[in-house]
Structure 1
Amino acid sequence: MAAGATTMGAAPGDRGEAAPAPLDRVIPAPASVEPGGSPYRITERTRIRVGDSRAAREAGDYLADVLRPSTGYRLPVTGDGGGGTGKDGGGGDIRLRLVKSPHGGAGGAEGYRLDSGRSGLTITAARPAGLFHGVQTLRQLLPAAVEKDSVQPGPWLVAGGTIEDAPRYGWRGAMLDVSRHFFTVGQVERYIDQLALYKINKLHLHLSDDQGWRIAVDSWPRLTTYGGSTEVGGGPGGFYTKADYRRIVRYAASRHLEVVPEIDMPGHTNAALASYAELNCDGVAPPLYTGTAVGFSSLCVGKEITYDFVDDVVRELAALTPGRYLHIGGDEAHSTPHDDFVTFMKRVQPIVARYGKTVIGWHQLTGADPAKGALAQYWGLDGTGPAEKERVAEAARNGTGLILSPADRAYLDMKYDANTPLGLSWAGHVDVRRSYDWDPDAHLPGVPASAVRGVEAPLWTETLENSGHLEYMAFPRLPGIAELGWSPAATHDWDGYRSRLAAQAPRWDALGMDYYRSPQVPWPAGGGGGGPDVFCAGWGGGGGGATCRVWTSINFCYSHLNI
């Protein structure tokens, strides 16, 4: 039975307890759900059995770390993988199993199968990422209180039945802009954990822009010591040392996310130009920039030192990045003449290839000549001109893969409505339904579905300064983009989705997250979130420069926002 259209019941536990959540209650919607049988119960005797696989043990340790604080159980992770499917002979334990062909159903690098019944629960996958994604599904099937860091009463029931699941697209990304405002390693790790819950598998880090350079480059040290010393509004900025960046990469990998670094060029480069005068055509360094305008900066395309600079930056960043991709930006290069832009991209794309990485650029790359195998990230609007859309479509027909991030659908920094105290509105207002209710395969006319590699939800940070800000803008929209990337098109249904989305609220509350309580979603009574609790003193209605303070139910104070 396919998930998405109907919510199925599940047999309650044997002790008069409420029924556990139906197997199709999770986000993203699973590919296939077959309910049946008695629920599984985690008890003080439960063990997590992982066999002799290191990857299964890592997934088991992760699961135990989630479950132990709230259940109060020991939940030993043991190498005895044993037999049993979870429904018949699992011995009451949780089993995590890596096999070459899991039941012939959940194939690929990220697919999994979950079997739940009275005698045990088993998650089976062919690859470690699939096992990890199955663990995320198990988390959502348990009561939201499982996310708390203190002992809760339970019971810890999982509905009986089988889920077979695999993603629609291989690219399910989230971009975090750390250039307009800097975010610490700990804040990035917090966001990674939130992304992992919804099976996001790419973390695109926007590491450089006009307002700040955020990654250490040994051969050009002033990029960070000077270019990274500020941010929008004139704050202290910051940057990642190479050790910091490696820590982010490792942490993301432990959650099965691949880090995709971006150095935006030839535009969006004022921080670099201010750091090194020789990168400017006139040899004069501009001042540091703390505003939010775009399109005024450009590397000097005609100078050979520009390509020495790019080579050094790409070489050092590629050496730090185990993933396949490196993003070279290319958007809003309004100060770069078109012929120069084409020349620049012809010089820079082979540099990326030289250091073993595949090029990604914003969709303006299609106005040059995308390298073989390159990906273009489309951020246009519904109202983007037909000529620009056709250029992207032509590149897709000629072999350029597309990542879809339409700004008026997927940009998480767009205001929900006119009263949203954070974010921007140049792409219009993007409410929760608008961010969910579109089909990536059919979004761009003339683009073959085979060219669509997946979706990505960018979060730009001109107005965002802390984790509370990120959460308020990302949730509840991010889970919808994640579902577009993971779930089969047949499961796509707004009415069913918004019901499942509402059920996420107690989980976010338990995790201490902020979120916007959209009126489009039937949220449970009570709970946190920023929607009804937002109070903005001196609200100027956009563009007035008023200082806005927003308090939410979990006491994040959003201050010093020039809206």
Structure 2
Amino acid sequence: MKKLLLLFLSLLIFNIGKAQNSAVNIIPQPVEIRQLSGSFQLKNGQSISFNKAEARSVAEMLAQRLNVPTGFSLKAQQGNAGAIQLIINENDDVKIGKEGYILNVSPQKITISANAFAGLFYGMQTLLQLFPKEIESKKATKANWSVPAIKITDYPRFVWRGIMLDVSRHFFTKNEVKDYIDQIAKYKYNTLHWHLTDDNGWRIEIKSLPKLTQIGAWRVARTGHFGDREEPKEGEPTPYGGFYTHEDIKEVVQYAQERNVSILPEIDVPGHSMAALAAYPELSCTKQKVHVNPGTAFSEWYGNGTFKMLVENTLNPSDEKVYEFLDKVFTEVAQLFPNPYIHVGGDECYKGYWAQDAGCQALMKKLNIRHVEDLQGYFMGRVEKILEAKGKKLIGWDEILEGGISPKATVMSWRGVKGGIEAAHLGHDVVMTPTTFAYLDYMQGEPTIEPPIYAYLRTKKSYSFEPVPDGVDAKYILGGQGNLWTEQIPTLRHAYYMTFPRAWALAEVYWSPKEVKNWDNFAKRMEAHFQRNDISEINYSKAVYDAIIRTSRKNGKLIIEMESEIAGLDIYYTIDDTMPDQFSTKHDGKPLELPEGNITLRVVTYRNGKPIGHLIALKRTDLERRIGR
């Protein structure tokens, strides 16, 4: 009996160890994973060694990340005697490139080897994800600080892996931006696209043009839904806003560089310039005074994608003073940001004021162009020459293709992938960031529950994105990014709610080989990261647990279809004005024909007998409105 008991315990311990080893929940999924037997135990008194000076900062960062939650006093030291060893290769491993790494975990030690700092940093991020979730604690806590034995070889699919943060609609402090950088760097993003100017605020100090921040960085205080707010009144105080000084920007840029994140600054021109025109109205066609917009309805949008501005927000392309202004702006921007690109916007430029302006008409005649839209090509050509004189390259939204751009310009495809396909066929480098997959400001779940905006995008849809369209040479696709516009995002906590988990899905799209992508596998890892964020107190959305409800009409009857993003959820519903629970009618996966009458459909999801999703309640009128959507 004793022998049988010992054998049983041995098998139990083996299976527990095997189960621990199988719980590898890395996002984004590495290129190669080989799980081994055993585990490494982190202990107080161990050290983190590094072989070259350029690895010191990663070693020190790792020591701090481990010491806070464990309460240990691990130290970084040069040499090769550490229990955790960071190694910059003497000879480059061509397979892993600049940002790749090899992580080896054995019961005796951990080694991360890479060709450069970037690879070591990403190897560190993967290692931290192998520790138990308590590693995300902001204070010392108790846990089994072990890492499963494993070998990982990893490197990115794309060189451009970005997130855009809009700080014009709502200002985020430099410390909030640094915190956001920390969170995206965990998932191997290497670009923060910083949307610094728009109609709603100018956020970067330009010392040669002080009114840009004295006036353009501040607006009247307003609450309520963005786009439905009251117009500013003449003489009304403008307390809401903020901007970054040169010193702030230098600090953030350095902080980002230490995390292998390059910051791409955006100065949005010639449209989206109301904050600049509030400071310098003489740069517009009408030269009329405007206010920094607090979120009023200043435009009319039509069903075919065209629109009309009710207030001028566009720089005058025929005025030489505009280019003198831009030269001053880009001189200071170029000095502050080491990124080889400067983003110049170029999107949603309303040309109605140009069409009515005598100076623009004279310029069109001089250039022998018939269409006012072609003035944008002229404007962008002038801007590109300004940037080139400062050693920078131009990148803009896909509207910069209108009117022609130089072959050296890089295009961000946001209106679907069409602009990216066109740009690639013309030989332009392209960053894919289409609304259909990558817009993080869109609702991510049931529209009657989520904070309202004009479109929605579920995590599963983001995960399905393929950045290289059929028929396009992959060499022109630099990569992609997710875009977080902040009209409806006033706080950093809500920014995280909108960013995650969709940014995790996109991280895997941009980093991992497309052959390893699998939604159900990703979803399990995503849920493990929910738990990590619970401990780190970083907000995220749980909309993936909510039922998806679609409607159609067949033979005059209202038909309801229901499903979930996450496999294994049970959907319960009622149509008798009672609250649904696990004892209500369970959805069998078949279309439901809704009976006639003033009926409210109530739906909730469960897993393993426990509620997990939000309660959704839809009246018949609500259901009819979404037919075919």
Say yes or no: TM over 0.5: yes
Distance 1:153 1:322 in 2: 42
SS at match of 1:380: coil
Query: What is the aligned counterpart of 1:195 among 171, 179, 184?
Result: 184
Does the 8 Å CA contact 1:123/1:131 hold for their aligned counterparts? Answer: yes
Query: What is the aligned counterpart of 2:157 among 161, 164, 168?
Result: 168
Task: Write the letter of the residue equivalent to 1:330.
Answer: G
Does the 8 Å CA contact 2:221/2:240 hold for their aligned counterparts? Answer: no
- Distance change (3 Å), C-alpha of 1:509 and 1:365: same
Matched, 1:280 2:270: no
Answer with 286-295 or 120-129: which moved more: 286-295
Distance 1:423 1:178 in 2: 20
Give the structure 1 partner of residue 88 of structure 2.
Answer: 98
Does the 8 Å CA contact 2:30/2:152 hold for their aligned counterparts? Answer: yes
- Distance change (3 Å), C-alpha of 1:406 and 1:204: same
Matched, 1:319 2:335: yes
SS at match of 1:484: helix
Identity %: 35
Query: What is the aligned counterpart of 2:413 among 367, 378, 392?
Result: 378
- Distance change (3 Å), C-alpha of 1:437 and 1:486: same
Q: Write the mapping of 1:201-212 to structure 2, written as runs, cut at 5 A.
A: 201-212=190-201
- Distance change (3 Å), C-alpha of 1:284 and 1:12: farther
Matched, 1:435 2:470: no
Q: Write the mapping of 1:131-530 to structure 2, written as runs, cut at 5 A.
A: 131-230=120-219, 233=222, 236-291=240-295, 293=298, 296=309, 297-335=313-351, 337-381=372-416, 389=418, 392-417=420-445, 418-422=447-451, 424-425=453-454, 428-442=455-469, 446-517=471-542, 518-519=544-545, 520-521=565-566
Give the structure 2 partner of residue 32 of structure 1.
Answer: 32
Does the 8 Å CA contact 2:17/2:38 hold for their aligned counterparts? Answer: no
- Distance change (3 Å), C-alpha of 1:533 and 1:71: farther
Q: 1:102-125: per-residue Cα shift (whole Å, max 9, x none)?
A: 6x4652110000001011000000
SS at match of 1:150: coil
Q: Name stretches of at least 5 consecutive residues in structure 2 with no aligned partner.
A: 1-10, 224-238, 300-307, 355-371, 546-564, 570-605, 623-629
| C-alpha displacement of 1:340 | 1.5
Q: Name stretches of at least 5 consecutive residues in structure 1 with no aligned partner.
A: 1-10, 83-90, 383-388, 542-563
Q: 1:347-396: per-residue Cα shift (whole Å, max 9, x none)?
A: 111111111111110011122333333210011137xxxxxx2x643331
Q: 1:450-487: per-residue Cα shift (whole Å, max 9, x none)?
A: 21110100100001111111011011100111111100
Structure showing greater radius of gyration is: 2
Distance 2:12 2:444 in 1: 38
Give the structure 1 partner of residue 106 of structure 2.
Answer: 117
The structure where strand makes up a greater share of residues is 2
Distance 1:231 1:522 in 2: 47
- Distance change (3 Å), C-alpha of 1:18 and 1:508: farther
Task: Write the letter of the residue equivalent to 1:312.
Answer: K
Distance 1:163 1:364 in 2: 41
Distance 2:222 2:472 in 1: 40
SS at match of 2:241: coil
Does the 8 Å CA contact 1:411/1:458 hold for their aligned counterparts? Answer: yes
Structure 1 vs Structure 2 CA RMSD: 2.6
Distance 1:55 1:14 in 2: 40
SS at match of 1:506: helix
- Distance change (3 Å), C-alpha of 1:333 and 1:106: same
TM-score, normalising length from structure 2? 0.75
SS at match of 2:194: strand
Does the 8 Å CA contact 2:164/2:484 hold for their aligned counterparts? Answer: yes
Does the 8 Å CA contact 1:12/1:38 hold for their aligned counterparts? Answer: no
- Distance change (3 Å), C-alpha of 1:465 and 1:534: farther
Q: 1:222-249: per-residue Cα shift (whole Å, max 9, x none)?
A: 1111010127837611111111111111
Does the 8 Å CA contact 1:412/1:477 hold for their aligned counterparts? Answer: yes
- Distance change (3 Å), C-alpha of 1:12 and 1:455: farther
Answer with 322-331 or 276-285: which moved more: 276-285
Distance 2:58 2:218 in 1: 39
Residues matched between the structures, number: 501
| C-alpha displacement of 1:420 | 4.3
